[in-house]
Structure 1
Amino acid sequence: MSSSDCEQFAQLLIENHSNEYIPVINVGILFKPKVEFTLEGIYQTEKGEKLSGRWKVQIKGADQILSNGEIELEVLSGAVLNPMNEDCQFTLHNVTIGINFHWQRDEDQVFRGGLKLLIEDEKITAINILSVEDYLMSVISSEMSATSSLQLLKAHAVISRSWLLAQIEKNKALEQKVEKYSSTYQTETELIRWYDREDHANFDVCADDHCQRYQGITRANTPMVVQAVKETWGEVLTYEGAICDARFSKCCGGMVEVFENVWEPVNHSYLQKLVDNEFDPKGFSLDLKTESSAQKWILGEPDAFCNTNDKEVLSQVLNDYDQETNDFYRWTVEYTQEEISTLVAKRTGIDFGTIQELIPVERGDSSRLIRLKIVGDKKTMIIGKELEIRKALSESHLYSSAFVVEKVEENNAVKFILKGAGWGHGVGLCQIGAAVMGAKGYDYNTILMHYFRGAGLEKRY
């Protein structure tokens, strides 16, 4: 499909009630050697062939073969199946969600809009083409429960819209730069890496937690979700005229982290350190870069919006698979010396030998570790940033990098006990904290201004 065809497709499918243009996005959903899908309604190929029913697509040379058991069609990589009317929808079968997280699983998911099929790294990538606002209807139902409070849903609609549009603008800027963008720094003694949506070159965002959860219309939205999107239609957070790179995580652990401690070394004035409360908690130093203050903070229970066990509030933020985990604000993970040595070797690909020590080197403003020294009897190395640390110390992802390490020796056996705070990177909006704020009666504007200091709301379309 040519760029002009895509523009025509976009304008046909995604105009709102006042005929204003709404941005169109490409969302990467599925990446497998063979993709199976069911078309409900009539879809048309770029050659004019009309398709319906169940199909599978496989790679043949540089092209793809579409088949339904009776017919085989050869299509180019990047081919788009266009819905013939707005009632059409398609099901992608065996979509993997929660990739590398503890809730990873496959499920069938239903989508509206166009279906693009692309060959990428000897696999087929299934991409959904749709409007930003249709995308948001799903995202705020996928990132949290569709039964959340209206104010929380409105706040999330604004930050999800802002983040998405900011990423598209950022990608355009990166394409124009002469020097190559790099998110990895590595020497013999240090590995510093961060993960962001730049990993995706052939679509705007993916559908999993790496970007924002997007599960089509599988996660049933509600009239309140529709209301939240419509009442914030085209509304974004801005700072000095630019759309904010509005980040969010499940639980900040009581202190919101600074952007550059997690991702590239760029300062965003609206993504700074802040206490997740109306006041500073008593009895704690807030200089959490200092090891003694960080330990007291992590091992303590400071008052915060996100420090809650209210199941009704938590159910607003957490879908069923998220509720398989109950310890969000403070948590503990234990490993034997053998377990952690095997795990770190497997997850990093580096043979440290038997792990002797895990030593904090540098913490961010929320107490999250951004550089950790791993001492083994074969190799010693510093790793970072926060997600690299979390990936190294868990089969999926450690809840956060805000943790202290206790090394215990019992009966001639060594055990490493990690005691931690929060879930996720901790930058920007804290979803559990925002849910508590919504339950307490704060409106969405106040919630947003709490987490994004100095930003403003602006309607872009």
Structure 2
Amino acid sequence: MTEPHLRIGIMYHPEIIFRLNETYLLAPNGVPYEGIQKVNYRDGKIWLNDELVDEETLVFNPVRYHEASFELNDVTIGIQFHWERKEDQTFKGSLEIMIENDQLTAINILPLEDYLVSVISSEMSATSNMELLKAHAIVSRSWMLAQTQKSNSLKETEKIYQSISETPEEYIRWYDREDHLNFDVCADDHCQRYQGITRQSTKIVEQAVAETRGMLLMNNDKICDARFSKSCGGISETFENVWEPEVHPYLQSIIDNPTLSEGYQADLTNEEAAQKWIRNAPEAFCNTHDKEVLSQVLNDYDQETTDFYRWKLTYQQTDLAELIARKSGRDFGSILDLIPVERGFSGRLIKLKIVGSKLTLTIGKELEIRKTLSESHLYSSAFVVDKQNITDGIPGEFILTGAGWGHGVGLCQIGAAMMGAKGYKYDEILLHYFRGASISKEY
């Protein structure tokens, strides 16, 4: 295997304004460009600096790769999250602009290892513990290559990727691969956070990537689809309970602690066990308020969220009914109950029954539940529900008490940061979260 070049989807808009900070050559004719450029999509065509271009794709390649960079204006980050915002971002490598879905898509093309330096700095603080950085570099590299292999496999088989199952009583959907046909991954949290060289990297990040160059998590000679989330909430989840019904032996449920706290169960598919776990705060690597450790994993906008391990959210009846109707596109009437139907091993809801005065429907999987019950994304689907102020069978208030932040599969970033702070080495961190995997240098 040799180091691959990646295609990362950055932004999607009818007009893209960017600055070339060095000389770039426009393929295929090799015309040089520098400085501020504007590309528009009008009447089904691409316009470059208000001149019609007889191409459906523009590719700007740097003359001097290591010295060159380009800046994209108004890139949206945190898409549909509570901290969504726009910022100008700077990138290494080539810039491709193509027509897609009646607008323009900007794609960054660059070598995998350079991509990783940015991902590690974007996903967490560039001043993190070296062992955490090494572990995350291997996880991100493995995930990235597993996704490109999966995309290639789907293209070869021409198999239609299905992620929705619907009946009159049930709507089940998961979100993973169906959005990206013309590039390998996107740049936002939907894939893994990538913000070019906008987030200032450090020598320690470059060192962590260089010292783990080509190292991958493997299982039975296959690259592991190595997932990660902010906080597992004390127990991690299995792959098949979050995405497609395919079992990955290295993505199983594990206790995020050397031992299970006394009086608790490790299998939270049982409702009583889940209630006890979520309503309390058992010991776990990710059960921490250590600001120094949290600052390693959380960039400034992530720290706008203060409760990771356990959280609470209160909805008034009118607000919840309006939210669910708007997010689901269905009129449930008044919300009478939110009933757990099926939980994963971490207590995350795989299926939730929404009982309304006009409609009753079971929804899943975890991200569909989180999207339906929040303006952006509920922190996780590991929650229990309390109803208050009930009048004529209609609750006036719903209180959600929850555990963790994210899907909870694979590496727990806050837990891994705590392990690094406690002196665990990168391979110990990885083999704690990815049981049965091995670490192999493949290029």
TM-score between both structures, scaled by the size of structure 1: 0.93
1:354 CA drift (Å) = 1.3
| In 2: Cα distance, 1:188 partner to 1:343 partner | 21
Give the match's secondary structure for 2:108. strand
Amino acid at match of 2:319: E
Letter in 1 for 2:255: V
Residue 351 of structure 1, CA deviation: 1.3
Counterpart check, 1:294 vs 2:274? yes
1:134 and 1:376 map into 2 onto residues whose CA distance is 50
The residue identity in structure 2 corresponding to 1:257 is E
Shift of 1:249: 0.2
Task: Give the letter for the 2:137 counterpart.
Answer: A
Q: What is aligned with 1:238?
A: 218
The residue type equivalent to 1:84 in the other structure is V
Letter in 2 for 1:415: E
The equivalent residue for 2:163 is 183
CA–CA distance in structure 1, aligned partners of residues 98 and 362 of structure 2? 38
- Of residues 47, 64, 83 in structure 2, which corresponds to 1:65? 47
CA distance in 2, matches of 1:39, 1:138: 19
Q: Is the 8 A contact 2:44 2:102 kept in 1?
A: no
Structure 1 CA distance for aligned equivalents of residues 2 and 400 of structure 2:
50
1:283 aligns with 2:283: no
Q: Classify the secondary structure of the residue corresponding to 2:117.
A: helix
Q: Which moved more, 1:192-201 or 1:392-401?
A: 192-201
Q: Which amino acid aligns with 2:307?
A: D
**After superposition, where does 1:327-366 map in structure 2 within 5 Å?**
327-366=307-346
| Pairwise CA distance, 1:75 | 4.9
2:185 corresponds, among 189, 192, 205, to 205
CA distance in 1, matches of 2:127, 2:36: 32
Q: Deviations over 1:184-241 (max 9, x none)?
A: 0011111100000332101000000000000000011101000000000011000000
Give the Cα–Cα distance (whole angstroms) in 1 for the partners of residues 120 and 386 of structure 2.
38
Structure 1 window deviating more from structure 2 (246-255 vs 409-418): it is 409-418
Deviation at 1:263, TM superposition (A): 0.2
Match of 1:421 among 403, 406, 414: 403
5 Å-filtered alignment, 1:113-262, equals 113-262=93-242
User: Does residue 79 in structure 1 map to residue 61 in structure 2?
Assistant: no
Q: Structure 1 stretch 195-204 or stretch 380-389: which is displaced more?
A: 195-204
Instruction: Name 1:307's counterpart in structure 2.
Output: 287
Structure 2 SS opposite 1:274: coil
| 1:320 alignment counterpart | 300
Runs of 5+ consecutive residues of structure 1 not aligned to the other structure: 1-19
Distance 2:434 2:294 in 1: 22
Is the aligned partner of 1:40 residue 2:27?
no
Cα deviation, residue 319, structure 1: 0.2
Between the aligned partners of 1:397 and 1:409, the Cα distance in structure 2 is 26
What is the match of residue 421 of structure 2? 439
Structure 2 counterpart of 1:247, which letter? R
- Is the 1:197–1:211 contact (alpha carbons within 8 Å) kept by the matching residues of 2? no
- Aligned partner of 1:17 in structure 2 is none
Cα distance in 2 for residues equivalent to 1:298 and 1:395: 22
Secondary structure of residue in 2 paired with 1:197: coil
Q: Is the 8 A contact 2:125 2:298 kept in 1?
A: yes
1:102 is matched with which residue: 61, 71, 82?
Answer: 82
**Match in the other structure for 1:458:** 440
Which residue identity is paired with 1:85? R
What CA distance in whole angstroms lies between the structure 2 residues aligned with 1:38 and 1:373? 50
Distance across 2 between alignment mates of 1:195 and 1:75? 36
Shift of residue 63, structure 1, vs aligned partner: 2.6
Aligned partners of 2:103 and 2:159: how far apart in 1? 29
Asked whether the equivalents of residues 227 and 409 of structure 2 are also in contact (C-alpha less than 8 Å), the reply is yes
Instruction: Tell me, in whole angstroms, the C-alpha distance in 2 between the residues paired with 1:247 and 1:364.
Output: 16
> Where does residue 29 of structure 1 map in the other structure?
10
One-letter amino acid of the counterpart of residue 401, structure 2: K
1:13 is aligned to none
**Which amino acid in 1 is paired with 2:410?**
G
Q: Distance in 1 between matches of 2:187 and 2:338?
A: 34
Aligned pair 1:55/2:34, yes or no? no
Q: How many Å separate the matches in 2 of 1:363 and 1:256? A: 13
Structure 1 moving runs of 4+ over 4 Å: 410-413
Of the structure 1 ranges 55-64 and 212-221, higher mean CA displacement relative to structure 2 is found in 55-64
Distance 1:367 1:176 in 2: 37
Deviations 1:54-78 (A, max 9, x none): 11111133331111xxx73515222
Taking the aligned partners of 1:297 and 1:190, their CA distance within structure 2 comes to 27
Distance in 2, Cα, partners of 1:190 & 1:410 = 27
Matched, 1:92 2:72: yes
- Contact kept? 2:342, 2:350, Cα under 8 Å: yes
Shifted more, 229-238 versus 194-203: the winner is 194-203
- Of 177-186 and 363-372, more deviation after overlay is shown by 177-186
Taking the aligned partners of 2:124 and 2:355, their CA distance within structure 1 comes to 39
* RMSD over aligned Cα atoms: 1.3
